[in-house]
Structure 1
Amino acid sequence: MKLTSGALFEHTNCLLNRRNRYQFLATFLVNISTFAHGIGIGWMSPVMRQLQTPESPLSFGVFVEELSWIGSLLGIGSVIGNLLAGFLQDRIGRKPVMFALTVPYVCFWLLSYFAQSVQYLYLARLLAGITGGGGYIVFPIFISEISDANMCTIVIGAVQIVGTYTTTLICDQFGRKILLLISTLGAGICLAAFGCFTYFAKLYDLSALGWLPLVLLSLDVFLCNIGLVGVFFVVLVEVMPAKIRSVAVSTFVVILSCTVFVSLKIFPLCMQYWGISITLWSSSLVAFVSFVYFLLFLDETKGKSLLDS
């Protein structure tokens, strides 16, 4: 018996049947906002040093202390977004919260584009944090609720690029824990190696290895995406019992946002007072501690039903 392509796609076991296609489309649309948010806040890292030079794209000067606030206000905004989204999502629903997140995001872009002083950037980054913090609360829960339990992880990472796409291919095959272990250990090694390069570059001529920092940084980004970015929020949703999932996820994301605030606040200061080498080694130490923690205490959630209590 022959099956037409249409009949094949409508088969209940087909990944691309109508129900699953709607789930993929909804997840894709939700994650567009995550992608746009990343573009919006990602300009800070590459231009941080340039903002303190005459080549700055801004019409006003920015000092190190101000840079630390520009970076860290994202974390404060994230806490605000976490709390607001966590409070509202069970009262007015997930979709209204996601629609509401467009307001601070649009204001963030307008303030960034028309910035006339550093205070514009302060407010812009705060609003960007509110958008991101709210999204981190409501997006994973929304996606988990519209997706089948056995395909939730595949869908969540479907529109992430390169590293996270790799996660979608191997997450259900090898499990979540191994990806987090590879991610944290690999990131720690890359950051430690990068720190060594910057240290010895001050003592010796390493121009022949000028390609190495880019390779290490690219590898670090890739390894972070296959675990810490692509899997972390999936695991966070899966380890929480269904009856407390919304509150528990909101609580832990608030803690995460506070950590982001501290990290972004002290990073420019660490760069100025410690130098890049010690800052990178300190970051690698955090990654190694995370590796040990995941190794000893994280339970594998592969195959766990999202309906488990």
Structure 2
Amino acid sequence: MIAFNNRSWLLHQPSFFLVGIPGLEESQHWIALPLCVLYLLALGGNVTILLVIWTDRSLHQPMYLFLAMLSGIDLVLASSTAPKTLAVLLVHAHEMGYTVCLIQMFFIHAFSSMESGVLVAMALDRYVAICHPLRHSTILHAGIIGHTGAAVLVRGFLLLLPFPVLLRRLTFCRTTVIGHAYCEHMAVVKLACSATTVNRAYGLVVALLVVGLDVLAIGVSYALILQAVLRLPGGEARLKAFSTCGSHICVILVFYVPGMFSFLTHRFGHHVPPHIHVLLATLYLLVPPALNPLIYGVKTRQIRQRVLRVFYVQG
């Protein structure tokens, strides 16, 4: 629907033009190569983790079930971003329909929220395993794990569903060029001609609710874990307790550090070059899905042995 006034054309459901990496248009095909490698690693690694956990009943324990949830979310997150981004960078498929843009945006933000929720669940699992080891299987039984997964899923959908709903009430001017490689919420909001106060405020509230509360919960869990570990007698016992948290801490850093940078840059980093911001925002959605299986595969003995056994038998 298009309406005319004295100043400009106003578009209610425009097609968007994705620039890709602003300022690096001439070398975008070279940038696409490492992004393609990351996507392939994400696909191969997370499918392997899911198959290993699915087929090995000894891995049907809370830590590995949460890891399976993380791998499933990572597959959706990477697949929501990489195909269109690679199409923009490699074959210049810059145009994206309005509805498709909103769907991609919803999936990216909703599944990012779900990943954050699963990281909280994994931190709580580590807390129970170290601080209440004798009650671990009683506290985190199959029913609790299922309810936790459902709560993470529902929270992601309910919190992020207003994003596309609120965007549909906006009108856009003639300029519908998104200086990004995918449809990101704030990048689209900035193109609107109508008032965006509600969109910006809700986006900030969601970010504070998801990241703020989740990081707080993870921080409290690890503070209690640290307190319990320091009470253990002997350095070997402490080292073993810390090693059980090593993989999870690495995954937390890989997910939250670039995510916080991207969030802060959109709102306050006006002096950050656009190509740096877009590159980091794209890597934020591809690096965690690619690295998470490698981190757990290297640091978790049971998964490492199971994967090696599968490939050895096949070889």
Q: Tell me which protein shows more strand as a share of its residues.
A: 2
Name the TM-score, length of structure 2 as normaliser: 0.31
Question: Using CA pairs below 8 Å that are at least 6 residues apart, which structure has the higher relative contact order?
Answer: 2
Name the TM-score, length of structure 1 as normaliser: 0.31
